[in-house]
Amino acid sequence: MSVLVVGTVAFDSIETPFGSAERILGGSASYFALGASFFTPVRIVGVIGEDFPQDYIDVFNQRQIDLEGLQRDKGDTFHWRGRYHEDINLRDTLELHLNVLAGFEPKLPEAYRDADYVFLGNIDPVMQLEVLRQLRSVKLVVCDTMDHWIHESQEELKKVLQRIEILVINDSEARLLSGYDNIVKAARAILKMGPKMILIKRGEYGVLQFSDSSVFATPAYPLEEVFDPTGAGDSFAGGFMGHLARSGDQSQGGLRRAIVYGSVVASFTVEDFGVKRLTDVSLAEIEERYQRFIDLTDFHS
């Protein structure tokens, strides 16, 4: 079972209290794909510019990540520059150069059009709808978004929400989208917009899952070093869908275990700059931390 992701493949320039890095590999599709590739083959739909180096292509090639849907356009690659505060949960965007992303029209290769699992990364809802239009069949669609699209493209976003199974969103975005401060009310309101399930990311505080039949809460794995939070949410989604695709288990328990796998993958992501930790961690280490996650949270056995 492969997972299809549409999203950004980018250069990130990042400053944190612990150091800085220039034009490293980033973007929602990159983090998602690397996170999911521990568990299942991944296909990327996205765009890069002429300046995108072979070294970064090789990062994907070293894993079961198919790049037939990653088109190279004239111009420069999308580039984000951000700075994290002393409180590592806060960040400012310093520069945003859309470059080739500005004219991007996603085109799914023929082989991608029968997808089992699809992740609509955080891009313009118009592009997310276009991807859905090109799909012939699909088992499960998961979608991410952000405050910018909630403000600027809410009508299109709501069309997307009517066509997906699971929305992944952070807590402040859930409040913004729903109009409710209380997170339980926010989740209930968003479920009425279409998704069967919502996963609310709370950073170092973990994840809340809501559906009509289940409420699940899990803490984040406590870390002594959080080096760079970039990509935590996308690699969470990658681990979540990757494990779902690997297990084929969409029971309530199966979905919960997938959430924990996503949390484990995200906990590795933030341990080093950019995608570095995702490229050197092993599946065995992920499985080991999953077991530790059970120890971390178990109180009734």
Nearer to a second copy, 162 or 213 (CB): 213
Q: In the chain, what is the greatest distance between 2 CA atoms, to the nearest angstrom? A: 58
Q: By rule CB under 8 A, what string of x and - marks binding of each residue 238-277 to a second copy?
A: ---------------x--xx-xx-----------------
Burial class (CB in 10 A: 0-12, 13-18, 19+), 129: middle
Question: In Å, how far from its chain's centre is CA 216?
Answer: 19
Nearer to a second copy, 257 or 277 (CB): 257
Piece in contact with a second copy (CB under 8 A), picked from 32-40, 239-247, 264-272, 293-301: 293-301
12, 9, 30: which is closest to 101 by C-alpha? 9
Report the site for a second copy in 209-228 (rule: CB under 8 A).
215-220, 222-226
Report the site for a second copy in 2-61 (rule: CB under 8 A).
none
Binding status of residue 205 toward a second copy by CB under 8 A: yes
Binding status of residue 91 toward a second copy by CB under 8 A: no
CA angle 140, 146, 151 (to 5 degrees): 120
How many residues in the chain?
Answer: 301
Spatial CB neighbours of 17, under 8 Å, sequence gap ≥ 6: 84, 85, 86, 88
Hey, what are 73's tokens?
A: 């356009």
Residue 290 to residue 42: CA distance in whole angstroms: 22
Binding status of residue 182 toward a second copy by CB under 8 A: yes
Piece in contact with a second copy (CB under 8 A), picked from 8-16, 129-137, 161-169, 291-299: 291-299
Q: Are the CB atoms for 196 and 218 separated by under 8 Å?
A: no
Nearer to a second copy, 111 or 223 (CB): 223
Residues 68-107: b if buried by 16+ CB within 10 A, e if exposed: ebbbebebbbbbbbbebeeebeebeeeeeeebbbeebebe
Binding status of residue 135 toward a second copy by CB under 8 A: no
Nearer to a second copy, 110 or 298 (CB): 298
Closest CB 288 distance from a second copy, rounded Å: 15
Nearer to a second copy, 279 or 297 (CB): 297
In the complex, which residues of this chain contact a second copy (CB under 8 A)? 86-88, 181-185, 188, 202, 204-206, 208, 215-220, 222-226, 253, 256-257, 259-260, 294, 296-301
